[in-house]
Amino acid sequence: DTEVTQTPKHLVMGMTNKKSLKCEQHMGHRAMYWYKQKAKKPPELMFVYSYEKLSINESVPSRFSPECPNSSLLNLHLHALQPEDSALYLCASSQFPGFGNGELFFGEGSRLTVL
Amino acid sequence: GNSVTQMEGPVTLSEEAFLTINCTYTATGYPSLFWYVQYPGEGLQLLLKATKADDKGSNKGFEATYRKETTSFHLEKGSVQVSDSAVYFCALGSTDKLIFGTGTRLQVFP
């Protein structure tokens, strides 16, 4: 199994809603990532979890709250978002932390629209 | 700091044409270099990588060589297919960062 599975694929929410994005991998990878991608732009790193602990937070607003319940799961909790937060949210994993030699495996993404 | 510069797109080619997408980088130390591909409506997939100078990465007919003297990692394919239509991202990896270029859209017509 070489997949990273993200749910839901599409999400529409109002600015007062609370929702969550979910990501799952069963490759035994010990690092997991959240990226945000706006249209026609490269992905931007948001968070990194290494061995289930948050290791990098790229100054993301607190209305985005990551959670790593176990080594296979990664959640992104969303609350009080703004329309400019509408984007494709990509989850990725790698065998070990660090970007030097490793390959990142990406999910297909969750396309979020904030009304 | 580290950075990646990619040629602007879109690149429009006929099937079986030769492809080059230019990528140059600035970096301290000895980063790894990657090409990722994003097909419409999908996430990114690693296409190929090179971890040290003079390494050549190759996959699915695509190739790129890590050239330290010109700080480049240009992507090439001898004969493109319609199914190669996608956005291609050059990326530079160090211990704590994976820096993507802005992406180059490739459109291949029959």
Tokens of A71: 């080594």
- Give one DSSP letter per residue of A23-55, joined into a string: EEE-S--SEEEEEEE-TTS--EEEEEEETTEEE
A27 vs B: CB within 8 A: no
Between the CA atoms of A67, A70, A74 and A75, what dihedral angle is there, to the nearest 10 degrees?
-40
Nearest to B100 among A40, A43, A107 (CB): A43
> Who among A45, A90, A100 is closest to B43 (CB)?
A90
A-B CB pairs within 8 A amount to 54
Residues of A in contact with B98 (CB under 8 A): 45, 99, 104
pLDDT of B8: 85
pLDDT of residue A2: 63
- Tokens read off for A95: 């065998």
Chain B interface mutation, best of A4, A5, A104, highest count of B Cβ atoms under 10 Å: A104
C-alpha closest to that of A7 among A84, A74, A103: A74
Tell me what pLDDT residue B2 has.
86
Q: Find chain B residues with C-beta within 8 A of A104's C-beta.
A: 44, 46, 98
- Amino acid occupying residue A88: L
State whether the Cα torsion B88-B92-B98-B101 is positive or negative. negative
pLDDT for position A4: 95
**pLDDT in the model for residue A81:** 93
Please report residues of A whose CB lies closer than 8 A to that of B95. Answer: 98-100
B6-46 tens-digit pLDDT: 988 899 999 999 999 999 999 988 899 999 999 988 889 99
Q: What is the rounded average pLDDT of the residues B40-59?
A: 93
Give me the residues of chain A with pLDDT under 70, please: 1-2, 102
Given CB atoms, is B89 within the 8 Å cutoff of chain A? Answer: yes
Parallel, antiparallel or unpaired: strands B44-50 and B32-38: antiparallel
Kindly state the DSSP code that residue A104 receives in the 8-state scheme.
Answer: P
Angle at Cα B46 formed by Cα B42 and Cα B50, nearest 5°? Answer: 160
Does the CA dihedral B55-B30-B104-B20 come out positive or negative? negative
Nearest to A99 among B44, B89, B95 (CB): B95
Interface touch B44/A41, C-beta < 8 Å: no
Q: Report the chain B residue with the minimal C-alpha distance to residue A103.
A: B46
- pLDDT tens digits for B71-89? 999 999 999 999 999 999 9
